[in-house]
Chains A and B, each alone.
Chain A
Amino acid sequence: MTEETKPTSILGRVLAWGLLITLLALVGMQLRSSLQGVLTRGEQAPDFTLVTFDGQTITSADLEGKVVVLNIWASWCLPCKDEAVHLEQAWQHYQSREDVIFLGVAYVDTERESLAFIAEHGVTYPNGPDLGTLIYTSFRARGVPETFVINKLGEIASVKIGPYQSVQEIITVVDRLLELE
């Protein structure tokens, strides 16, 4: 009797262990991604595609050789309102340069509210929705506003968690990167 059930028993054990190991691997992967934290200086910026509200498609490949100020915001985010003014003023400062671009990424926002926010704060740099929250996820953001400044080599040069408090704060970061070339 015992000898007859042995092969089934072994198969059952193999299946049970296989299932357990698979589950542990999945949990481990999930834990790893959630414990990674935000991107840090020196890391290569993730590839992304932003389709702006006016239909323009901007990919990270298009931005090679430029300093990119990528701001993740939302219309329902109160600190984003003051920051939008600072970012726009900083953008006006650099707009004539070919090697600096500002991008706005609307996170978990409705298009109507995003466009109202953009109009209200007079934002003129390219802005688009974070479709599928892919940009937010790939940059490992943890909230809004968060701003990632990418140098001309495509590396993360600065991460600002929370809002910029002044135009000068933004200009200091961007100028430092422009001086490095």
Chain B
Amino acid sequence: MRIAALVIAAGLLLAACAGSPAAAPSAQGAPSADEVNAVAKNLYCPVCANVPLDVCGTAACAQWRGQIADLLTEGYTEQQVYDYFAAQYGQGVLAVPPARGLNWLVYLLPPAVILGAGLLLARNLRRWRQAPAPQGKAPATEDDYTRKLEEELDARR
């Protein structure tokens, strides 16, 4: 009898364990605030310039975060959410603009400027090193003048 009870209890426990993953889809269905914010931090609402969507407090931004939650619930990937927002509201909403057209400048200019500055610095450093160091004593004229001055001072003492 005890064995039967143990078997039943084990069976119920197993069923409970097996049943728990069934709750997972509903938990996955509604994304958490952190999941929404992870996407939202890479978006900017045009109304609130320079404020990332995850920390923006306006009604418009709250609606956008709701929209992100809806899209994630529908099964959109992060990239698909960005594509959706870019199509709806323009590429200006993306924190990282796609590398197309004039956007290429954003990616090319900073490394180009850094590279150019590095080359310029390297070239100038080489020149400074190669420049002839001041050699010998001070010009003779100065020496002569000092010597003459000393002599005259001595003569007056």
Contact = CB atoms under 8 A, between A and B. Distances in A.
Interface of A: 16, 26, 74-76, 108-110, 112-113, 129, 131-134, 137
Interface in B52-86: 58-60, 63-64, 66-67, 70
Given A75-B63, A76-B58, A108 B87 contact: no
B49 interface: no
Of the candidates A16, A75, A129, A133, the one having the most CB atoms from chain B within 10 angstroms of its own CB is A133
B47 interface: yes
B90 A76 contact: no
A110 B47 contact: no
Which 9 residue pairs across A and B have the least CB separation, nearest first? A76-B59, A76-B60, A110-B67, A132-B90, A133-B90, A110-B63, A113-B63, A108-B46, A108-B47
A74 B60 contact: yes
Interface centre among A26, A109, A110 (most CB of B within 10 A): A110
Contacts of B63: 75-76, 109-110, 113
Contacts of B70: 112
B46 A131 contact: no
B90 A110 contact: no
B59 A108 contact: no
Contacts of A110: 63-64, 66-67
Main secondary structure of the interface of B (DSSP, over half): helix
Nearest to A114: B63
12 contacts: A26-B102, A76-B58, A76-B59, A76-B63, A108-B47, A109-B63, A110-B63, A112-B66, A112-B67, A131-B87, A133-B89, A133-B90
Contacts of A131: 87-88
B36 interface: no
Contact of B90 (A75, A113, A134): A134
B45 interface: yes
A132 B88 contact: yes
Contacts of B88: 129, 131-132
Contacts of B64: 110
Contact of B46 (A75, A76, A133): A133
A134 B89 CA distance: 8
A108 B60 CA distance: 7
Contacts of B66: 110, 112
A106 to B, nearest CB: 10
B89 A108 contact: yes
Contacts of B116: 16
A132 B46 CA distance: 11
Of the listed residues B67, B70, B89, B116, the one surrounded by the most CB atoms of chain A closer than 10 A to its CB is B89
